[in-house]
Amino acid sequence: MLTPEKTVELVQNGADVVKIGIGSSAVCRTRTQTGCGRPQLSAIMDCVGAAKRYNGMICSDGGVQKPADYVKAIAAHADFVMMGGYLAGYSQSGGELINKLVKTGFVDENNEDIIEERKFKLFYGMSSQFAQEHHYNGLPFYRASEGTVFEVPYKGDVKNAVQNLEGGLRSAMTYTGAKTLEEFPQKVTFYKVRRQLNRMFGYNEKE
């Protein structure tokens, strides 16, 4: 959902949790295919009040690239945050594990490409043709694919990624003076900025 009116309608009709957001996923093509969607944080902030007035909860659907995106969603009163792309490629993540031979970009003493076997996991949007063919009866002739498929490098255990999320949230609560998760959104002020990061040495561009 993207509007407060529809959020209220769903909660009043029995929904416990309303999923907020369209097209912000890394494997979603809804915005380029249909033109529908809006910035994720704005959607959360517009809809959360409508849900809370009727004791509903919201789930922020997609758009998490860094721990800061997760933190901002929580700060905007999201009860849950979907982050398929951020958590893709780990042992605990869904998706098929595949082995591939890939060029490393280096050559040996005979000037031949050095090739290594590497592991990947498939990550795909649920509106993609791939998902429709694997989980349903295929993509209906009257619909277009609104997602894609990526081979994400295998990253091992998800423990460090989760620790990154928790660490970012804990630090944000410290900076804002929040003692509990319930108190955290009340301590936050959002500002619209043109540039947030110092990119002088490119450090902030790296994972």
* DSSP codes joined into one string, 123-188: EE-TTSHHHHHHHSS---TT----B-EEEEEP-B-SHHHHHHHHHHHHHHHHHHT-SSTTTHHHH-
Kindly indicate the confidence band of residue 204, based on its pLDDT and cuts at 50, 70 and 90: low
* Structure confidence at residue 201 (pLDDT): 76
Out of 3, 30, 148, 176, pick the active-site residue: 30
Task: Tell me the domains of the chain and their CATH numbers.
Answer: 4-85+159-205 (3.20.20.70), 97-153 (no CATH)
Q: What's the average model confidence in pLDDT over 180-194?
A: 92
User: Is residue 205 over pLDDT 70?
Assistant: no
* Structure confidence at residue 9 (pLDDT): 94
State what percent of residues in the chain have pLDDT above 70. 97
Closest CA to 153 of 206, 93, 68, 113: 93
Rounded to an integer, what is the distance from CA 122 to the centroid of its chain?
16
- pTM value is 0.85
What is the per-residue pLDDT across 156-166, written as a single tens digit (0 to 9) for each? 999 999 999 99
* Structure confidence at residue 189 (pLDDT): 94
* Structure confidence at residue 29 (pLDDT): 85
* Structure confidence at residue 1 (pLDDT): 67
Kindly indicate the confidence band of residue 207, based on its pLDDT and cuts at 50, 70 and 90: low
Closest CA to 151 of 101, 105, 95, 205: 95
What is the per-residue pLDDT across 93-136, written as a single tens digit (0 to 9) for each? 887 889 999 988 898 898 989 999 999 998 888 888 888 888 88
Q: Which of 42-46, 130-134, 138-142, 198-202 has the lowest mean pLDDT?
A: 198-202
Query: Computed from CA positions of residues 116, 117, 118, 123, in that sequence, does the dihedral angle turn out positive or negative?
Result: positive
Q: Which of 4-18, 91-105, 172-186, 188-202 has the lowest mean pLDDT?
A: 188-202
Residue 59 bears catalytic tag: no
* Structure confidence at residue 130 (pLDDT): 80
Closest CA to 29 of 130, 166, 170, 154: 130
* Structure confidence at residue 68 (pLDDT): 94
